[in-house]
Structure 1
Amino acid sequence: MPSSKSHVVPPDQRQAALAQRRNLKMAQSAHAYVRGSTVKFYEWLEASAAGGKIPDGPPVWICGDCHVGNLGPVANAKGRIGIQIRDVDQTVIGNPAHDLIRLGLSLATAARGSDLPGVTTARMLERMIEGYMMALDAELGGATVAKKPSVVRIGMREAIGRTWKHLAKDRIKDVRPTIPLGKRFWPLTEEERAAVEELFKKDQVRRLVTALHLRDDNDRIELLDAAYWVKGCSSLGRIRIAVLLSVGDGHYHEGGLSLIDIKEAVQAAAPRAPKTPIPRDNAERVVVGAQNLSPNLGDRMRPARLLDKAVFLRELLPQDIKLDFDHLTREEATRAAFFLAAVIGKAHARQMDEETRKSWRGELGRNRTKSLDAPSWLWSSIVDLIVGHEAAYLEHCRRYAERNDR
């Protein structure tokens, strides 16, 4: 068996290696392709015949990339856990209908991946709208207005019981204060390492690290290790660095180690609402969006500059995990659709006053057919997008297979 060192890629070979990994990951399933094709989603949406029928919802911060993998348990700086949005790279002040369509497409492809019949997709969209509209009706600040499906309950139980050792095992495969180079972590250039060391001397970054409830503002912070992080489909050509820190007096006690994710912030693919103020700096946009949409996550994020590029930093916590939607029953699929839409509805609703929520809810209640208790524009958009994504996914697999056969 090859050692982990055999997977190490030097900095000058990153681009080709990342492109290969991205293509492989997106070829694994239609659902994986949907998750990795945010830009194409908005291109298809704009070109779709259903696109002109989408209502202009009230301008609020939206996720912009609202698929099922971007929702899950998220802890705040004090350790409290809630189901919220986990990834806000694409966040903008935009049309909340775009989050609904993106979530519906993701749920539909997840259902197809679980070999569920098409009628289940129709029922999922109906339940999705029910959950979202119920969240618009609920009092802000209250509990999430949905019974958690089993996949969420299991994820929450796992999140509550996790500690630093679990995070180290999952993320860095080691509980020692180093980041082992291999398949998931590659070496930094000298310039990158020096820039990271300089970044963690700044007060705003120090305050991010000491913000957790087990730490003190005056705690000593030592940079133990840093590496380029091979992560997801979005790493291609962008800064993505994992930084391991020692905080306080000891390396191993709970709160004594800190794993920071540094990620480059780039222009969002999601269209912005016209004539609405939004931070011009992409890192500031991401952090402000997180604070509005996912307070638990926004609590532990900061914008910064690294190598003259906009980046945002967040401390990873053991409780931040991804939910498993790979194998769904009919009942679980519809229940998950209701619950996840309620989470998104709550994130949108907290930004609206009562009159705006009422008006938006009324808009969502229109344009329904006798055979489907969900807006016709939502169903039409999902159908058009599934057709486009399925064809693009198969073409991606064909091109990828051809390149590997050469």
Structure 2
Amino acid sequence: MEIKQLTQQNRRHWVCTAIAEANADLGGEARQRKYSAMAESPYRFFRGTSHLFWADLYKDWRFTFYGGTAGTQTWIQGDAHVYNFGAFANHDGEVIYGLDDFDDAIVSDYQYDLWRLGVSLVLDARENGHHDEATIETALRRMAKRYLKVATAFDPERADEVVHFTADTAPAPLAGFLEEVGSRKTRAKMLGKWTREQRNGRRTFDFDKPKLKRLSPQQRKAFTAAFEAYRQTQQDPVADARDPGFFAVKDIARRVRAGTGSLGTPRYYVLIEGAGSDDHDDIILDVKRQDGPAACGAMSADERAIYHGVFAHEGQRHALGFHALAEHPDRYLGWLALDDGVYSVRERSPFKKDFPSDSLGGGKRFVKMAGIWGEVLATEHRRAGRALNADAPFTFERSLQDATDGDATGFKRLFTAISRHYADCVTSDYDRFLTTLA
């Protein structure tokens, strides 16, 4: 063997090996479907390879400039990107905008979310092709500016103030989007998309839909038994004495071909009886296996041991992160255990909708939306920080003030550099992926 073969530490080999290992548990067909989705663009590739982001940046020494302390840790989303924000309904029936995916939620430094969001903005903007690099740079600076301003602002007299983004409180262009979602999306439309009414009036899933598959009788029996135990895991149980049939399971389906990073992860939809008497009050619950945050793969053995000592299982971790980050956590939130793992349970919101970033053709609209994304992320990090530090609710805000120490310019400069440079790295990795695995 030649000396030059002593190390295989080159980027192409490492990236392709890491991707293959991360997807080794998927069957051949599911793995190829995921690879095909990742091959669509550098941004889709980025969404499908969060493990690379964590391996590259988890121990990046630059995070000590404006964080890297116990106080700058909070619950983070763990896979922040512009399409992991969306519209959904809160407890009061309002259509709000915020983080809508908590599969990778974990306690860590805030910068990992912020950096990943910045990288996604660059990749998404380049894919849409509406903006030059100077405009993207301006948008990144706006995102960092709004994040820092909101994340370091607090008023002890208003600690319990609820901050959320609705059509009435959000600025343009988000306000118009939320108004449209509220007027056009309904529970009846959602049910019409996924279910059908039989001649006897019973509603079931529509298995003519290619993304829904039937369960075998044995699978259905096992799932139904596990679902009964799920009711005990709800932190905020939903009950309605007026309707004894409320929560009765009407149908179960296996959900396939969903997501990018989670493509191939086992998932089910459960149709349950709603609380009212209306034909269109039924509820769809989204049941998804939780395999653990991508961040865990970058941790040391000691860190992983602490992690597994804190959480009983991934369903609990998902629920705790959801409750910490979300303004109004899903009232159906809980978990259930099947033979192949623990699954999270949450409602599929009738108002579920991603903001169409490809509609941001004007530079001013794009820059303004970048600021909104930064503000939303900061708001949810602050909320999560209070949940994490109940005895000292402003630990996160004070710590970030100390870490930045008035250096907003340096903060923005580091953020934009990391966002753009890592986006370039992702694009190069994407090209390597196309020529090796796709």
TM-score range, shorter chain: 0.7 to 0.9
Closer, same or farther: CA 78–34 of 1 in aligned 2, 3 Å: same
Question: What are the ranges of 5 or more consecutive residues in structure 2 without an aligned counterpart?
Answer: 1-25, 387-392
- Counterpart position of 2:347: 315
In structure 2, distance between residues paired with 1:203 and 1:90: 21
- Counterpart position of 1:124: 139
**Residue 380 of structure 2 aligns to a residue in which SS?**
helix
Closer, same or farther: CA 207–301 of 1 in aligned 2, 3 Å: closer
CA-to-aligned-CA distance 1:345-382 (integer Å, 9 cap, x gap):
1111122433541330342466665xxx7433323322
In structure 1, distance between residues paired with 2:48 and 2:111: 20
- Counterpart position of 2:394: 354
Is 1:302 aligned with 2:334?
yes
Query: Match for 2:149 among 112, 115, 134?
Result: 134
For 1:179, the aligned partner's letter is F
For 2:374, the aligned partner's letter is A
- Counterpart position of 1:386: 423
For 1:134, the aligned partner's letter is K
In structure 1, distance between residues paired with 2:29 and 2:288: 18
Closer, same or farther: CA 249–383 of 1 in aligned 2, 3 Å: closer
In structure 1, distance between residues paired with 2:433 and 2:128: 21
For 2:205, the aligned partner's letter is I
Q: Aligned pair count? A: 381
- Counterpart position of 1:270: 295
My pick for the range that moved more, 129-138 or 141-150, is: 141-150
My pick for the range that moved more, 150-159 or 47-56, is: 47-56
In structure 2, distance between residues paired with 1:222 and 1:208: 19
Question: What are the ranges of 5 or more consecutive residues in structure 1 without an aligned counterpart?
Answer: 1-13, 402-406
Asked if 2 retains the 8 angstrom alpha-carbon contact of 1:244 and 1:260, the reply is yes
CA-to-aligned-CA distance 1:105-161 (integer Å, 9 cap, x gap):
111111112221111222112111222123221555244588533255313431355
Shift of 1:320: 2.2
In structure 1, distance between residues paired with 2:46 and 2:354: 17
In structure 1, distance between residues paired with 2:39 and 2:244: 48
Shift of 1:173: 6.1
In structure 2, distance between residues paired with 1:134 and 1:367: 12
Asked if 2 retains the 8 angstrom alpha-carbon contact of 1:152 and 1:323, the reply is no
Asked if 2 retains the 8 angstrom alpha-carbon contact of 1:221 and 1:248, the reply is yes
| 1:1-400 alignment, distance < 5 Å | 15-46=27-58, 50=62, 55-56=67-68, 58-115=72-129, 116-136=131-151, 137-139=153-155, 140=159, 141-144=161-164, 147-151=170-174, 153-159=176-182, 161-170=184-193, 172=194, 174=196, 177-181=203-207, 182-202=209-229, 204=231, 211=238, 216=242, 218-230=244-256, 231-247=258-274, 250=277, 253-255=279-281, 257-270=282-295, 278-307=310-339, 309-328=341-360, 329-350=362-383, 351-352=385-386, 353-354=393-394, 356-364=396-404, 374-399=411-436
Closer, same or farther: CA 156–203 of 1 in aligned 2, 3 Å: same
For 1:29, the aligned partner's letter is S
Closer, same or farther: CA 374–205 of 1 in aligned 2, 3 Å: same
Query: Between the two proteins, what is the percent identity of the paired residues?
Result: 20
RMSD across aligned positions (CA): 3.2
For 1:347, the aligned partner's letter is E
My pick for the range that moved more, 390-399 or 31-40, is: 390-399
Q: TM-score when scaled to structure 1? A: 0.82
Asked if 2 retains the 8 angstrom alpha-carbon contact of 1:76 and 1:299, the reply is no
- Counterpart position of 1:404: none
In structure 1, distance between residues paired with 2:430 and 2:405: 33
In structure 1, distance between residues paired with 2:292 and 2:353: 26
Closer, same or farther: CA 110–249 of 1 in aligned 2, 3 Å: closer
**Residue 210 of structure 2 aligns to a residue in which SS?**
coil
Asked if 2 retains the 8 angstrom alpha-carbon contact of 1:76 and 1:300, the reply is no
Asked if 2 retains the 8 angstrom alpha-carbon contact of 1:114 and 1:326, the reply is yes
